[in-house]
Amino acid sequence: MINPLAFFYSFNVINTDNTSVFIIFILMKKFEIPEYYKSPIISKVKAKRKLEDPRKKDFSPTLLKFENVEFIISRHFGFCYGVENAIEKSYNAIQENPDKRIFLISQMIHNPDVNQDLLSQGVRFIQDTDGTQLIPWNEIMQEDIVIIPAFGTTTEIRDLLFEKGINTQTYNTTCPFVEKVWNRSEKLGKRNHTIIIHGKHNHEETKATFSHSKQNAPSLIIKNMEETIFLSNYILGKHSTEDFNNYFKGKYSDNFSPEVDLNKIGVVNQTTMLAGETEEIAGFLCTTMITKFGERQIKSHFAETRDTLCYATNDNQSATLGLLNLKADLAIVVGGYNSSNTSHLVELLEPKFKTFFIKNEGEILAKNKIKSFDIHSKEIIKLNDFLGENSELKIIITSGASCPDAIVDNVIKKVLNLMEIKYNPNNIKL
């Protein structure tokens, strides 16, 4: 389905070997989002980079210096197309329906500040992020406004809303790149492939993708290489079917028959997973199928699927990987603690840099005190080694795709205040 907020131009290019390549260009719409999500610092940074590099080929960071503190700002970060689309539609729903009850199926995006602002304006969440029911479905009426979040929703919830007579199209904010994964899964299913979904089985997007995928094909969710290796060993006869069923309990579709359904597979993913890990998983499973069926038969057993990560996830991760070649005293990643794409940025940075994962400037308590989210223990930890005693600092800063630039601005200003540096937005030199 073509998203009405984007314009698609396509044509065929004939290569020198007479093969035809179908190329699609997407001209992104400029979205209207609330002014308080915008920022005086980051907006200037992004405007300058867009002017200098409109085709986004330069992944080098922006250096922003304030006296003795230099911020190394990632080339790509912050609101993506899907998030801006979701924000615009959600606030339109509020403005266009002042006399109606407005509900979101779950959090619109994984950012606490954005979701809290929606709650403060009267929007209510039907479910929590883990699927816990906050408002019973029998309390949702036909005349209510229901917003579908950027992650999309399951076919079960879609059908339930349809039966209630609720319009789900006007305020459907499902990201078009998520829909792309659904379409890819459907095509694979029609060719009798079992769908292997690289994702977190309890994440809203993966739940939605799984529910769509299983309509057309047997489907299985795998989280990482550890689970991929177990799956590979089963395919090669090293585990029993009982072991498989126990190991992947709750992660495969109804009537899934591993003895039959794992003879022909294709891989798609949750759009916010690590690109390198998805590629590694697909390559590993391809090798497994070659081992079992032989290289000559591989096309009959494994679908070569192009990466289904969204452009923003790819750009953000590539820009973050580029930061690893630099020297810095610390790194700050800003975003919601339940944001998958944000946690992966932390995962990329922390092996080299002292990395702090914060939701906003409020987590910075003092010059050497900060509350940082640990992506491994899933706990917020108070640390006493934030800025240290250095008189000069180089600080890497980036954020997830659902984090407003204004929050990144506030983090920068908080650091400058702690370093006793006066900040003037009109004197920013790039």
**Could you report the per-residue pLDDT of 165-220, keeping only the tens digit for each?**
999 899 999 999 999 999 999 999 999 999 999 999 999 999 999 999 999 999 99
* CATH number, domain 81-163: 3.40.50.11270
Helix axes 81-96, 112-120, angle to 10 degrees: 10
Distance CA 215, CA 390 (A): 58
Distance CA 337, CA 110 (A): 8
How far from 207 is each of 16, 210, 214, CA to CA, in Å? 43, 5, 11
Quick one: tokens of 97? 């329906």
Q: Which helix (H) or strand (E) holds 57?
A: none
How far from 152 is each of 171, 209, 300, CA to CA, in Å? 11, 8, 32
> Domain-by-domain residue ranges, the chain?
38-79+315-427, 81-163, 177-303
| Nearest to 97, CA basis, from 166, 6, 29 | 166
CA angle 184, 190, 193 (to 5 degrees): 80
Q: Is 335 buried (19+), middle (13-18) or exposed (0-12) by CB count in 10 A?
A: buried
Same fold: 38-79+315-427 with 81-163: no
Pick the CATH number of 177-303 from 3.30.470.20, 3.30.565.10, 3.30.70.100, 3.40.1010.20: 3.40.1010.20
Alpha helices (H) along 125-240: 155-163, 176-190, 204-213, 225-235
DSSP conformation class of 133:
B
- DSSP, collapsed to helix, strand or coil, labels residue 254 as coil
Q: What is the pLDDT of residues 305-332, one digit of tens each?
A: 866 777 788 899 999 999 999 999 999 9
Q: Do residues 38 and 406 make contact, with C-beta atoms less than 8 angstroms apart?
A: yes
Give the chain's radius of gyration (CA, Å).
23
Which residues of the chain have a pLDDT value below 70?
Answer: 1-30, 306-307, 426-427, 429-430
Domain at 38-79+315-427: CATH architecture: 3-Layer(aba) Sandwich (3.40)
Q: What is the pLDDT of residues 89-110, one digit of tens each?
A: 999 999 999 999 999 999 888 8
Which amino acids are annotated catalytic? 205
Neighbours of 290 (CB within 10 A): 15
pLDDT for residue 12: 36
Instruction: Write the CB contacts of 202 (distance below 8 Å, at least 6 apart in sequence).
Output: 130, 131
Q: Which helix (H) or strand (E) holds 347?
A: helix 340-349
Quick one: tokens of 14? 């004939």
Question: What are the respective helix, strand and coil percentages of the chain, to the nearest 5?
Answer: 40, 20, 40
pLDDT for residue 3: 40
pLDDT for residue 79: 87
Residue for token digits 């990643």? 333
Quick one: tokens of 353? 């840099």
